Chains A and B, each alone.
Chain A
Amino acid sequence: MDDELAIAVRGLRKAYGDNVAVAGVDLDVRRGEVFALLGPNGAGKTTTVEILEGYRRRDAGEVRVLGSDPAAPAADWRSRVGIVLQGTGEFDELTVGEVVRHFAGFYPDADDPAKVIERVGLGGKARARTHTLSGGQKRRLDVALGIVGRPELLFLDEPTTGFDPEARREFWELIRDLAAAGTTIVLTTHYLDEAEELADRVGVIAGGRLVEVATPAQLGNRQAALATVSWRTPEGVVESAQSATPTALVAELAGRFGGEVPGLTVTRPTLEDVYLTMIGHR
């Protein structure tokens, strides 16, 4: 397969008994790309990602991750892949610094633990026992353990769950830094703004299938969708119209009102609208 691809998947299938979790997924992620996988719970997101991470066996299909089959990877493969699971693996009795230093020792080319701790925003907590951390801080520690080996490819499974808005902004900054340094990032998330903010491309998974892959702006043909223009009539009634040429409509309204149009809004479907339509909730 292609060297420019960090991940190449063809016809991936996985069933648990009668329950088909992944029903034929094809997926390419280019090196250096930030790819977001969106989908409701039970859509096959986690199963797909855990197959790519080498945690689960597939029933059928071709899978290449950094050139290796994750079910039988090359010797150095694990040290090139960073994994941030969904909130697991706590070391209650140890301090943040001890855990990060310990994990750094597993990698051939690890980053400086103190720097990594600083980078995820736990600088003041290096000497704190991990059980004293808040949910969001524990998540940062998860991220620290995922990046301390300086991976070429980083998997992040719902990384910002439990973050307050400020912590999410800081986390996004960190992801942009990693991406700018050339790290390929595969991210699953429930937050559409997060996908829109970070991802070069978004894949929507529903019912075990990848229903669409596109840039956040183009997902569901969002750019081509009609805009909705609404305004208030002099009688105080809100009117709205769908238009392919909203600028012209606004100009016409401006003429009609002789200047400012009261209550004017122009909207296109949000990523959330498109997404909910795709997964069949609208």
Chain B
Amino acid sequence: MTTTTKPAAPLAATAARRVGPVALGLRQGRLEITQFLRSRESVVFTMGFPVIMILIFAAIFNDEIAPGVSYTQYFITGMIATGLMTVSFQNLGIWIPIERDRGVLKRYRGTPMPKWVYFAGKVIMVVAIGVVETVLLLAVSAAFFDLGLPATAGRWLTFAWVAVLGVTACTLCGIAISSLARTARSGSAVVTPLALVLQFISGVFFVFTELPTWMQQVAALFPLKWMCQGLRSVFLPESFGAQEAGGSFELGRVALVLGAWCVIGLLLCLTTFRWTTRRDG
């Protein structure tokens, strides 16, 4: 038996304490947020894009699409949903492959950090950036485009659950799709076109009911259409529900489809997530 002599602990500095699980998650979240905010492309792309789109589209189109509902209001609710998808699905689907390619994930796997901490850090970052982004969009829209904030507690509640379910589904799908990318660069190539197509067919840029029926049916398979519809029930007059494809805002179905995507996304994450690149075996 030899005794392993370790270097003596520094007396003053760190009285060597293991960080508890909650603190581990929070530290990871803080690290992710710091990295996000210091990466200029991420901030401009994620936070700036929806605001810029609102400013442009609202300046170009100003028609009334229904009594008391302007295209701008319709478009803004779509951009809030898009913002939530960008910060979760696109953000993770693009960044995780980069971290995998750089070997950041491999490095984490070589430490005693529990696996869940990595995902907790991502979720905290998505939620924090998502809240800031949504507040920013609401502020711009309320200040310049007469968007009425939800007037009743019931509408705020709907806003909350649609946002939470939507972000959860998009986060899980973002983590899942990150495993499709073989290299750092291909993450963006996989995710960006998909997100853009969804925006066009889900009633963000165009009024959903004016799209061809087959396109509406395709869009109805994915979360973004239902996030937009749920948010319209929050920000547009109740009477607008009759103009929707299903004759109402169909909040029950919104919950069902987003919930289903949470389950699908979780299963995909658990079965397909890779910590190393393919060439690492």
Q: Helix, strand, loop or mixed for chain B's interface?
A: loop
User: Which residues on A sit within 8 Å (CB–CB) of B18?
Assistant: 107-108
Contact of A109 among B16, B27, B280 (CB under 8 A): B16
**Does B107 have its Cβ within 8 Å of any Cβ on chain A?**
yes
Interface residues on A, range: 35 or more
Is the Cβ of B111 less than 8 Å from the Cβ of A103? yes
**Does B13 have its Cβ within 8 Å of any Cβ on chain A?**
yes
**Shortest distance from the beta carbon of B8 to any chain A beta carbon, whole Å:** 9
User: Which residues on B sit within 8 Å (CB–CB) of A111?
Assistant: 7, 9-10, 14
Is the Cβ of B106 less than 8 Å from the Cβ of A89? yes
**Does B141 have its Cβ within 8 Å of any Cβ on chain A?**
no
User: Which residues on A sit within 8 Å (CB–CB) of B4?
Assistant: 31-32, 152, 182
CA distance A105 to B104 in the complex (A): 16
User: Which residues on A sit within 8 Å (CB–CB) of B38?
Assistant: 93-94
Most chain B C-beta atoms within 10 Å of own C-beta, residue among A104, A106, A145, A152: A106
User: Which residues on B sit within 8 Å (CB–CB) of A89?
Assistant: 102-104, 106-108
CA distance A92 to B110 in the complex (A): 19
- Considering only residues 61-86 of chain A, those with a C-beta below 8 Å from chain B are 76, 78-79, 81, 83, 85
User: Which residues on A sit within 8 Å (CB–CB) of B35?
Assistant: 91, 93-94
Is the Cβ of B1 less than 8 Å from the Cβ of A3? yes
Is the Cβ of B111 less than 8 Å from the Cβ of A107? yes
CA distance A55 to B13 in the complex (A): 33
**Shortest distance from the beta carbon of B43 to any chain A beta carbon, whole Å:** 11
Q: Which 7 A-B pairs have the closest CB atoms?
A: A88-B103, A89-B107, A182-B5, A112-B13, A93-B38, A78-B112, A83-B110
Binding site for B on A (CB under 8 A): 3-4, 16, 31-32, 53, 55-56, 76, 78-79, 81, 83, 85, 87-94, 98, 102-112, 114-115, 145, 149-150, 152, 181-182
